[in-house]
A and B are shown apart, each in its own frame.
Chain A
């Protein structure tokens, strides 16, 4: 991705919390996600008033206020379902769900599974750090990435792989990025926004305060760009790629799977007085005569 002109990027800083007020720990991976988002949004020439950012609960969800654009912030685990409803109501909006790994894969996993099936034109960026940062570092479902356990317990199970889960559930765009590689992440986000369906981006966004294992350095050692020859439209190749990276103990960065589904087009639902005034009751009345 080319460098974005500074003036254009400034658009995304209006109607937002000033930079000096951002309440993430210094060095938080979420800064990278924020920078990547600004780059991608600017690059695609999206306009803030047509964007709806739906934030999850946690450190990550605060990103909705650090960026221009309409924003909504509801319950823990709910962001994808709000995003689904908003997008169904108004397909002209760019709807982006920004949530953490706990929000997405623990309390909100029901929505992750079923929104993957439903395939709305919504982008989900999982700001994945393996911990619940805002409640001071409890394990999340992605905790344990790269760590080998002698034995597991009910209290301490193996981690959930959001990529495989997304593939299984039918997400039509599955990608992975690393907030320590902002330019690449921005490229992935832009592709996700352009994808006409549900796009999942699992973004490694290190928690510098509570995850002392999956650090920037650890990620840098383990991430690897997906080779050019990979065909994202081939689902078998996607599975094979994940297995192959696993075998080598590496984490793929890039688009793992992308295949647009045939979708029935919908218009924005009627909402203004004049759009609703003409509704004839006859199709309903005739059922009951």
Chain B
């Protein structure tokens, strides 16, 4: 019997089968029962209806280190008939895709409305199969197809022997449907009981006493929130004082725009859905000119369209936070698949040179904490600040204690924004030459503080100039801000383990969790490594990084892109050789990818290992005739 340690994958047809309805409901219940959740691999397609969708959820006693490998303990297949994506595979699509990854001795629950599936190959591996005619029960017996997923939920609760008195489940139903009337709550409770009865029957007929997995409630120590990276980032931004947000619809950043539209007005702010990507960032720059903390959010293709405005922000010295929830590029790429391909763009994109700061979150927690930092740095350095996340983080959910959010909240301090009292003397110069490179900033509406700002080269008063000494002085003033940042605000990479004489595993972004997991696995196999995780990527802290990297035996950068963009940056800035483990097949890094990649690099001495060749649980492209 395995207690409180499992990975449950729910799969089915996108939009129709309600995959995330089930995972959202179960996730909430598990967290309320004091269990921990990590669900970072949500798989969906860039279509609305019909494609395969899946959502693996790790449930455990202690906060899970990582989502591990693509091996699952329990598989719940929701589709009841033909998947339009796989017309010759009635109600078998999810089983075909994910069955091979089901662990020996695992559990399969599937909708058998259209007939039982031959699962003998799985059963031969000790997997317990539970056919459940969920749709039939919902439609025929309960006359409401919509409760199909509640039947499945009831079955899953029974399998996991969790909340069998329906205390948590009942409370959830009350919250969700209470206002719609008692009947809806009762109908759902009945649906759950019917699902449970089917499981009881299968158990009995097979003489099983348990499915092998069980979840036990733990005492919830404190109020806990179940959030994804986009939500954590949005909350962080609002609490950091962001009061103007603009975005254009794009996966996976749209959810930030929707969150801001729903919540910013409650805080006196406004969220603008731009008519295009350029309007979004220009309006945000406009709001920032007026003095408001402003941000835009998009993903790769949208960020590309905004590049000209990076220069405007940099040269006019107008702060703006640019959130890039990276997805697989280039061009339209794979809109619903993860990648870390925008680092070089964030650091280098645009004509000419500007001061800019690039931060990248590696976890849901860092999405929250870096939001505060991003707005502070933008204010202080009056330049574009990039906050990179990626699709894995954007959609990835985990539970975090409420105290995490309250203790990591930082008070808003508007660095360097002049008040009326500061402007008593005439002759305010917007671009005053200073040692730090930072010129006191003023907002329109202040007597005595009239400014002229421009993206053309200018003198201290903001008047356009091409005078060589003035140009040189102003360029240097702008770029000097980056030296000040490196002295005062840059954070060194996070170091896990001692770097001396061991291979250094280096990463950034959402690879953080599988990297930590891989480090632990390598250690258990007898290979000691040191893991170095970057959050502050530009200006590159050479003075902190080079001495650190020189202490290891070799530098192995693990990235989710084709060329190794951080590795290139390290080579360029530190003049140190790097080796690379790279994955760009559109699936997140699994622990085994990293362990395997590192082992391979160390064994054969090559410079680059490209992982992810093995097709990860995809349907057969062609199905033999007559099947």
Q: How far is the CA of A47 from the CA of B444 in the complex (A)?
A: 11
Q: Which of B39-47, B152-160, B195-203, B290-298 contacts A (4 or more CB under 8 A)?
A: B290-298
Report yes or no: A269 in contact with B275, Cβ–Cβ below 8 A: no
Report yes or no: A72 in contact with B453, Cβ–Cβ below 8 A: yes
- Determine if B214 is an interface residue (Cβ-Cβ < 8 Å): no
Residues from chain B with Cβ under 8 Å of A168 in the complex: none
Report yes or no: B409 in contact with A281, Cβ–Cβ below 8 A: yes
Report yes or no: A289 in contact with B224, Cβ–Cβ below 8 A: yes
- Determine if A41 is an interface residue (Cβ-Cβ < 8 Å): no
Residues from chain A with Cβ under 8 Å of B238 in the complex: 279, 284
Report yes or no: B287 in contact with A86, Cβ–Cβ below 8 A: yes
Report yes or no: A285 in contact with B455, Cβ–Cβ below 8 A: no
Binary flags per residue of A51-84, CB closer than 8 Å to B gives 1, else 0: 1101100000010110011111111001001111
Report yes or no: A90 in contact with B263, Cβ–Cβ below 8 A: no
Residues from chain B with Cβ under 8 Å of A277 in the complex: 411-412
Residues from chain B with Cβ under 8 Å of A273 in the complex: 411-414
Residues from chain B with Cβ under 8 Å of A85 in the complex: 244, 246, 272, 282-290, 294
Report yes or no: B463 in contact with A17, Cβ–Cβ below 8 A: yes
Q: How far is the CB of B175 from chain A (nearest CB, A)?
A: 10
Report yes or no: B239 in contact with A279, Cβ–Cβ below 8 A: yes
- Determine if B469 is an interface residue (Cβ-Cβ < 8 Å): no
Given contacts A74-B312, A110-B275, whether A93 and B286 have CB atoms under 8 Å apart is: no
Q: How many A-B residue pairs have CB under 8 A?
A: 199
Q: How far is the CA of A289 from the CA of B225 in the complex (A)?
A: 5
Report yes or no: B462 in contact with A71, Cβ–Cβ below 8 A: yes
Q: How far is the CA of A17 from the CA of B459 in the complex (A)?
A: 12
Which one of A17, A72, A279 has the highest number of Cβ atoms from chain B below 10 Å of its Cβ?
A72
Q: How far is the CA of A119 from the CA of B243 in the complex (A)?
A: 21
Residues from chain A with Cβ under 8 Å of B456 in the complex: 73
Closest to A68 in B: B450
Q: How far is the CA of A139 from the CA of B554 in the complex (A)?
A: 60
Report yes or no: A90 in contact with B445, Cβ–Cβ below 8 A: yes
Q: How far is the CA of A271 from the CA of B223 in the complex (A)?
A: 31
Report yes or no: A15 in contact with B235, Cβ–Cβ below 8 A: no
Report yes or no: A285 in contact with B444, Cβ–Cβ below 8 A: no
- Determine if B402 is an interface residue (Cβ-Cβ < 8 Å): yes
- Determine if B82 is an interface residue (Cβ-Cβ < 8 Å): no
- Determine if A34 is an interface residue (Cβ-Cβ < 8 Å): no
Given contacts A85-B244, A89-B292, A276-B241, whether A75 and B309 have CB atoms under 8 Å apart is: yes
Q: How far is the CA of A17 from the CA of B461 in the complex (A)?
A: 11
- Determine if A88 is an interface residue (Cβ-Cβ < 8 Å): yes
Residues from chain B with Cβ under 8 Å of A83 in the complex: 286
Residues from chain B with Cβ under 8 Å of A69 in the complex: 450
Given contacts A74-B312, A81-B282, whether A269 and B226 have CB atoms under 8 Å apart is: no
A-contacting residues, B47-88, CB 8 Å: none
Closest to A286 in B: B225
B-contacting residues, A235-289, CB 8 Å: 266-267, 269-273, 275-277, 279, 281, 283-285, 288-289
- Determine if B539 is an interface residue (Cβ-Cβ < 8 Å): no
Report yes or no: B268 in contact with A288, Cβ–Cβ below 8 A: no
- Determine if B436 is an interface residue (Cβ-Cβ < 8 Å): no
Residues from chain A with Cβ under 8 Å of B448 in the complex: 49
Report yes or no: A72 in contact with B289, Cβ–Cβ below 8 A: yes
Q: How far is the CB of A86 from chain B (nearest CB, A)?
A: 4
Residues from chain A with Cβ under 8 Å of B450 in the complex: 15, 48-49, 68-70
Q: How far is the CB of A285 from chain B (nearest CB, A)?
A: 6
Closest to B462 in A: A71
Given contacts A93-B444, A273-B414, whether A86 and B454 have CB atoms under 8 Å apart is: no
Report yes or no: B402 in contact with A285, Cβ–Cβ below 8 A: yes
Q: How far is the CB of A75 from chain B (nearest CB, A)?
A: 5
Report yes or no: B451 in contact with A70, Cβ–Cβ below 8 A: yes
Closest to B290 in A: A89
Report yes or no: B451 in contact with A71, Cβ–Cβ below 8 A: yes
Q: How far is the CB of B72 from chain A (nearest CB, A)?
A: 25
Given contacts A85-B290, A288-B231, whether A64 and B452 have CB atoms under 8 Å apart is: yes
Report yes or no: B235 in contact with A269, Cβ–Cβ below 8 A: no
Taking a contact as CB atoms closer than 8 A, the residue among B275, B308, B449, B451 that contacts A75 in the complex is: B308
Q: How far is the CA of A146 from the CA of B327 in the complex (A)?
A: 51
Residues from chain B with Cβ under 8 Å of A222 in the complex: none
Q: How far is the CA of A224 from the CA of B409 in the complex (A)?
A: 63
9 contacts between A and B (CB under 8 A): A64-B452, A72-B289, A74-B282, A74-B312, A89-B286, A89-B290, A90-B292, A270-B269, A279-B239
Binding site for B on A (CB under 8 A): 15, 17, 47-52, 54-55, 62, 64-65, 68-75, 78, 81-90, 92-93, 110-111, 113-114, 266-267, 269-273, 275-277, 279, 281, 283-285, 288-289
Known: A70-B452, A111-B279, A283-B266. 19 other contacts (CB 8 A): A17-B463, A49-B447, A49-B450, A68-B450, A72-B286, A74-B312, A74-B454, A81-B282, A82-B282, A85-B287, A85-B290, A86-B287, A86-B290, A88-B287, A89-B290, A90-B291, A90-B445, A271-B291, A285-B235
Binding site for A on B (CB under 8 A): 32, 223-227, 231, 234-235, 238-239, 241, 243-244, 246, 263, 266-270, 272, 275-276, 278-279, 282-294, 308-309, 312, 316, 402, 405-406, 409, 411-414, 417, 443-456, 462-464
